[in-house]
Amino acid sequence: MITGGLGFIGSNLARRLMALGDVEVAVVDAMLPDQGGNSFNLDGLADRVKVHVSSIGNEATIYHLVSGVDYIFNLAGSTSHVDSMQHPRHDLELNCAAQLTLLEACRHFNPRVKIVFTSTRQVYGKPLYLPVDEQHRVAPPDINGIHELAAENYHLLYHRIYGLRSVVLRLTNVYGPRQLLAHNRQSFIAWFIRRALDGDVIELFGEGRQRRDLNYVEDVIDALLFAGASEEAEGEIYNLGGDEPISLADLAEALIAQTGCGSVRPVPFPPERQIIDIGNVYSSYRKIETALGWCPRTRLDAGLARTIEFYRQHREHYWHGNANSFPRPFATTTGN
């Protein structure tokens, strides 16, 4: 089962799992506006994937769905740092309360399920040293980071106390096909891609000097599968990360070079972003490399080229605010 399975990473994971062959895959997604759920993300899999349109916080639905599942890739939740500061209680419901409902369902109805939970490197806050490793202190700079850290601890507590086979991955900046492009409140990479493809201006806060590491989505899926398959990973937290951090300005220039259009313009930080900005940050992935053999394999130029080509082919499904509607080509059940 993949929670958030109609979203960016979840849908790419579903496609990889179906390509493996004899695997039964169910996805659960609340299809909330502006969160990235998009029916086109599973285009072509209508007869092979069971889709449940429901929040994982819906007890009546999730208590039933977890029964008999071998693995849960838990990708559901809100990832917008800006939205979390403007609507903290909503972020609490999506990233904390709903996670507890899922874990309680597993505890009561499927205590041997393996759960891979995706968190964020945002829990570290402004780094004291680079690259950030798992020993770095945690000091989330925003509401979303606090709630993600709480959700991590829920998963690890249920592992220690109830024996749930949980593992936590702290993701860095993920990019690739099937990502939300309708607004700029989730991923700066996706928004830069959209602006470049539109031949528009990429605005760089603070001149774009901030350095970040990036992971192509297929490499992230490798990490999810490695963590799911490893007993050694249970009860652990692992960073993902990229090989070479890049400044936002250099990333913008790379996109302009690949698309052949667009421009850049430095602009002042908006106040709501300035207060949660963490400057340069990139992660060490040495722990997961040593334990599970994972490392990023996709070069940035190759990953960007694949991503740009995908959106050129499927622009109509990602450019508009209503691109995330759900026309129901799948067999579905629905819950609130």
Tokens of 214: 């990036």
Mean pLDDT over 52-75 rounds to: 97
For the cut 50, the answer to whether the pLDDT of residue 331 exceeds it is no
Mean pLDDT over 298-307 rounds to: 98
Q: What pLDDT is stored for residue 231 in this prediction?
A: 98
Q: What pLDDT is stored for residue 335 in this prediction?
A: 54
Pairwise CA distance, residues 282 & 286, whole Å: 13
- State the pLDDT confidence band at 276, using cuts at 50, 70 and 90: confident
Range of the domain at 245: 2-334
Closest to 217 (Cα-Cα) out of 304, 287, 283, 285: 304
**Cis before 131 (ω within 30):** yes
Q: What pLDDT is stored for residue 334 in this prediction?
A: 53
Helices 300-313 and 248-259 meet at what angle, rounded to 10? 50
How many structural domains comprise the chain?
A: 1
DSSP state of 123: G
Mean pLDDT over 154-179 rounds to: 98
The count of other CB atoms within 10 Å of the CB of residue 266 is 12
Cβ(168)–Cβ(103) under 8 Å?
A: no
Cβ(18)–Cβ(25) under 8 Å?
A: yes
pTM for this entry:
0.94
Pairwise CA distance, residues 183 & 165, whole Å: 36
Query: In the chain, helix, strand, coil percent, each to 5?
Result: 45, 20, 40
For the cut 90, the answer to whether the pLDDT of residue 147 exceeds it is yes
- State the pLDDT confidence band at 283, using cuts at 50, 70 and 90: very high
User: For the domain that residue 325 is a member of, what is the CATH number?
Assistant: 3.40.50.720
Average of per-residue pLDDT values in the chain: 93
Beta-strand pair 214-216/165-171? unpaired
- State the pLDDT confidence band at 177, using cuts at 50, 70 and 90: very high
Of 206 and 175, the structure prediction assigns the larger pLDDT to 175
pLDDT (tens digit per residue) in 250-275: 999 999 999 999 999 999 888 877 78
| Alpha helix (H) residue ranges in the chain | 8-19, 59-65, 81-86, 88-92, 98-109, 143-162, 188-197, 217-229, 248-259, 271-274, 286-292, 300-313
pLDDT (tens digit per residue) in 194-241: 999 999 999 999 889 999 999 999 999 999 999 999 999 999 999 999
Cβ(35)–Cβ(7) under 8 Å?
A: yes
Cβ(285)–Cβ(241) under 8 Å?
A: yes
- State the pLDDT confidence band at 324, using cuts at 50, 70 and 90: low
For the cut 60, the answer to whether the pLDDT of residue 281 exceeds it is yes
Which residue matches tokens 């606090």?
A: 146
Mean pLDDT over 92-107 rounds to: 98
Cβ(291)–Cβ(230) under 8 Å?
A: yes
